[in-house]
Chain A
């Protein structure tokens, strides 16, 4: 199998299903690429083929490689993890490999795709955080009518006193 990784990546780029990959799968994909040794990569490719090039395979790859990579997958997919920094590091990391295996035009296409995906993931993460915060706020207002009253009256000082008095541990 010559330059399998480049071929696989090429398949990905051309596959319209690529656009439907979840952020989790994109992360897994990039992490696997960044962390795998050459022999591991070929193993992943075979595993990938065994699954008939289905998108779900990436999720399967996560569990398949969990012990091999000696990393916590839960940590990798944890939204609190600084995934963007890791993405930056790993993109730089496997850039070196790509110079060996993928022509310039394919590299540029791939980086553009990764950049787009990263921005999308970032926007999605920010949106998720906003939704979470909004949900938290609604819960807090429901459980703390006194605080809700201060917010309605736009009495920020009393609202602050309420939070500080409760040391931030009241149903948030």
Chain B
């Protein structure tokens, strides 16, 4: 399972965890994460966590 973790960047620059949708397939999680980052770029921080290892495995902002 893969969890898309979304933090909203508040006006005071603090971050609030706002959504954590989960997906069976990485590709699905990646598509959602990419879309969230593309459409709300300056307003959110997005990561994908592999729930098997509990590690961050993808961050759209680091994709070249």
Complex-state Cα separation, A151 to B64, whole angstroms: 26
Q: Assess the B43–A156 pair: CB atoms within 8 A.
A: yes
Instruction: Give the number of chain B interface residues (Cβ < 8 Å).
Output: 19
Any chain B CB within 8 A of the CB of A53? no
A164, B37: Cα distance in complex, Å = 12
Q: When each residue 36-52 of chain B gets 1 if its CB lies under 8 Å from chain A and 0 otherwise, what string results?
A: 10111101100000000
Given A84-B64, A156-B44, A164 and B38 touching (CB < 8 A)?
no
8 CB < 8 A contacts A-B: A137-B41, A154-B43, A156-B44, A159-B39, A163-B32, A164-B4, A168-B34, A168-B36
- Asked whether, in the complex, the Cβ of B18 is within 8 Å of the Cβ of A156, the reply is yes
Q: Which residues of chain B are within 8 angstroms of A159 by Cβ–Cβ distance?
A: 39-40
Q: Is the CB of A163 within 8 A of B44?
A: no
Chain A residues in the interface with B (C-beta under 8 A): 82, 84, 125, 133, 136-137, 140, 147, 151, 154, 156-157, 159-161, 163-164, 167-169, 172
Q: Which residue numbers of B lie inside 8 Å of A, CB to CB?
A: 4, 6, 8, 18-19, 21, 28, 31-32, 34-36, 38-41, 43-44, 64
Q: Chain B's nearest CB lies how many Å from the CB of A86? A: 12
Q: Check A157 against B19 for contact (C-beta < 8 Å).
A: yes
